[in-house]
C-alpha cells in the first residue's frame, strides 16, 4: 500500500493468529481476544518487544507462537493487513466473575529474542580467530531455532578466538548475550526482530547518517497529537573518554579530553571531569602495540565526539505509521517549535481504533558556546 493510503483515515480490526513453530505457518485464528492490549518496543532492552492481550477462553497454546495483525480498511474502501509482531505467549493467571464459563486471561507476550535470552550453550562453544562474527552469530540464532532475515555481508574477522558457555567466557551466559557481543565486535547493531518474528542483523549506522523513512507534518492532515514533551538532557555529557584495548600482554589505553575553554562541555567550562570508559577485548590480527595505540586514541576521540552531544528527547503520540524502533523520522511542527530528524527509541502501540502510538524520539545535538 502506498503512502497516500497510509495518510487516509482508516478503521482497525485486530487479529491474532497461532503460528506453528516448526513450519512458521499460521494455523488458525485465536478467538476471544478482547478490545485493547498493547505492544511495546524498546531499543534499550535486549528482547526489544513485549505485548499484552486479554483473552476470554483457553490460553493453552502449547509450543505455538502468536502473531498480531492489524487489518485496516481505508476511506476509499481499500484494505491492508499489517503484521505488528510475532510473540511467545504466556498466560499465567485468570480472573473470574462467578459466571459459569466466563473468565478473563491477561496474556503477556514476549518477542522471540526471549528464546535466545533463555537459551544457554550446553557446553563450551568456541568461535575461531579469523571467523566472520556475523556468520557466527547467525549460526547461534539458527541453533536456537530462529530464522534470520536476509542481510548484507560483513568484512570484519575476529582477531582472536572467542569462547562462550564457560564461567570465564567473554560474554554473558545466554545465547543472546553471545550474539550481541559478536555483532558489537563487527560494528553491527544489537539483534532485534521484525513483525514476522525473524531476527534482524544489520550494521550500525549513526542516526545522523540515516535518511528519514517517514515525515510527521503539521497541518490539516497531521497524524499526531499537538501535545508533546520536548526536553534536552546534558547532565552526563562526558568531557573525557578512555578506550581500553586488552591484548594478551597488556592493556592499551587511548584517552581523549575536551579541555577547550570555548567548548560548552569541557573540563574548563564544567569545572570538573565527567569521564566514561569503553573496553574492547578483540584486536585485529597483525597489529603491533603502536598500531593498537593509534587505534585506541582514534576510538577515544570518536567516542568523545559521540558523547559530547545533548540528548534531545521528544515524546509524542501519533496514528499508526510504518516506522519502528531504530528508524529515523522527520518531525515538522512549527507551532510547537519542534523541527528536525529524530530516531525512534521506544514505541507503545495501543491495539485500539487508529492504532495510536506513544513514541519517544531522540536526537543527539552537539552544542557549543
> Residue 4 has what pLDDT?
58
> Residue 91 has what pLDDT?
63
**Percentage with pLDDT > 90 across the chain:** 62
| Cβ atoms within 10 Å, residue 261 | 9
Integer Cα distance of 184 and 180 in angstroms: 6
Confidence band of 101 (pLDDT split at 50, 70, 90):
low
Integer Cα distance of 67 and 208 in angstroms: 33
> Residue 249 has what pLDDT?
73
Provide the β-strand partners of residue 312: 232, 363
> Residue 369 has what pLDDT?
36
Integer Cα distance of 51 and 119 in angstroms: 21
C-alpha cell at 39: 505492544
Out of 29-38, 115-124, 342-351, pick the least confident: 29-38
What is the rounded (10 degree) CA torsion for 210, 213, 218, 219?
150
**Tens digits of per-residue pLDDT, 261-287?**
988 888 998 899 999 999 987 777 777
> Residue 233 has what pLDDT?
78
**Tens digits of per-residue pLDDT, 177-187?**
999 999 999 99
> Residue 111 has what pLDDT?
97
Three-state secondary structure call for residue 144: coil
What is the rounded (10 degree) CA torsion for 70, 75, 78, 81?
-10
Confidence band of 210 (pLDDT split at 50, 70, 90):
very high
Integer Cα distance of 320 and 69 in angstroms: 13
> Residue 76 has what pLDDT?
87
pTM: 0.80
Integer Cα distance of 126 and 211 in angstroms: 38
Instruction: Look at 222 and 149; give whichever has higher pLDDT.
Output: 149
Integer Cα distance of 54 and 135 in angstroms: 39
Asked if pLDDT for residue 95 goes beyond 70, the answer is: no
Sequential DSSP letters for 227-252: --EEEEE-TT--SEEEEEEE-SS-EE
> Residue 284 has what pLDDT?
73
The b/e string for 210-232 (b: 16+ C-beta within 10 A; e otherwise) is eebebebebeeeebbeeebeeee
C-alpha cell at 35: 478490545
**Tens digits of per-residue pLDDT, 338-347?**
999 999 999 9
C-alpha separations of 328 from 106, 206, 207, 262 in Å:
33, 10, 7, 31
Sorted by sequence, the CB contacts under 8 Å of residue 62 that are 6+ apart come out as none
> Residue 67 has what pLDDT?
97
Pair 214, 327: CB distance under 8 Å: yes
Asked if pLDDT for residue 365 goes beyond 90, the answer is: no
> Residue 310 has what pLDDT?
76
**Tens digits of per-residue pLDDT, 30-79?**
988 888 899 999 999 999 999 999 888 766 788 899 999 999 998 888 99
> Residue 312 has what pLDDT?
87
3-state SS string for 272-338: CCCEEEEEECCCCCCCCHHHHHHHHHHHHHHHHHHHCCEEEEEEEEECCCCCCCCCEEEEEEHHHCE
Integer Cα distance of 81 and 75 in angstroms: 15
**Tens digits of per-residue pLDDT, 188-207?**
999 999 999 999 999 999 88
**Tens digits of per-residue pLDDT, 272-329?**
999 999 998 777 777 788 888 999 999 999 888 877 777 889 999 999 999 999 999 9
Sorted by sequence, the CB contacts under 8 Å of residue 142 that are 6+ apart come out as 148
Asked if pLDDT for residue 10 goes beyond 90, the answer is: no
Amino acid at each position: 500500500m502506498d503512502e497516500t493510503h497510509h495518510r487516509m483515515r482508516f478503521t482497525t480490526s485486530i487479529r491474532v493468529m497461532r503460528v506453528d513453530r516448526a513450519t512458521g505457518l499460521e494455523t488458525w485464528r485465536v478467538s476471544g481476544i478482547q478490545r485493547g492490549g498493547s505492544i511495546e518496543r524498546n531499543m534499550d532492552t535486549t528482547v526489544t518487544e513485549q505485548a499484552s492481550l486479554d483473552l476470554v477462553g483457553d490460553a493453552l497454546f502449547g509450543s505455538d507462537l502468536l502473531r498480531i495483525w492489524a487489518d485496516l480498511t481505508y476511506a476509499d474502501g481499500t484494505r491492508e493487513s499489517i503484521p505488528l509482531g510475532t510473540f511467545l505467549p504466556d498466560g499465567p493467571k485468570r480472573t473470574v466473575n462467578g459466571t459459569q464459563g466466563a473468565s478473563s486471561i491477561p496474556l503477556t507476550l514476549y518477542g522471540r529474542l526471549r528464546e535466545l535470552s533463555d537459551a544457554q550453550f550446553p557446553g563450551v562453544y568456541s568461535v575461531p580467530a579469523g571467523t566472520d562474527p556475523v556468520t557466527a552469530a547467525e549460526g547461534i540464532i539458527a541453533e536456537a531455532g530462529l530464522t534470520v532475515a536476509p542481510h548484507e555481508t560483513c568484512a570484519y574477522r575476529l582477531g582472536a578466538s572467542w569462547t562462550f558457555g564457560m564461567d570465564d567466557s567473554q560474554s554473558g551466559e545466554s545465547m543472546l548475550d553471545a550474539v550481541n557481543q559478536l555483532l558489537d565486535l563487527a560494528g553491527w547493531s544489537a539483534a532485534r526482530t521484525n513483525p514476522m518474528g525473524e531476527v534482524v542483523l544489520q550494521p550500525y549506522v549513526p542516526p545522523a547518517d540515516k535518511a528519514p523513512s517517514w515525515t510527521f507534518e503539521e497541518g490539516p492532515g497531521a497524524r499526531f497529537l499537538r501535545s508533546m514533551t520536548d526536553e534536552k538532557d546534558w547532565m552526563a555529557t562526558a568531557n573525557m573518554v578512555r578506550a581500553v584495548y586488552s591484548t594478551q600482554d597488556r592493556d592499551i589505553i587511548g584517552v581523549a579530553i575536551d579541555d577547550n575553554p570555548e567548548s560548552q562541555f569541557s573540563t574548563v567550562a564544567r569545572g570538573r571531569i565527567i569521564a566514561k570508559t569503553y573496553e574492547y577485548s578483540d584486536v585485529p590480527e597483525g597489529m603491533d602495540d603502536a598500531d593498537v595505540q593509534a587505534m585506541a586514541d582514534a576510538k577515544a576521540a570518536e567516542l568523545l565526539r559521540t558523547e559530547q552531544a545533548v540528548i534531545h528527547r521528544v515524546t509524542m503520540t501519533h496514528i499508526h505509521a510504518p516506522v519502528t524502533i531504530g528508524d529515523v523520522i522527520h518531525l515538522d511542527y512549527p507551532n510547537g517549535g519542534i523541527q528536525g530528524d529524530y530516531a525512534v527509541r521506544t514505541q507503545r502501540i495501543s491495539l485500539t481504533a487508529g492504532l495510536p502510538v506513544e513514541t519517544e524520539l531522540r536526537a543527539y545535538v552537539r552544542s557549543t558556546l
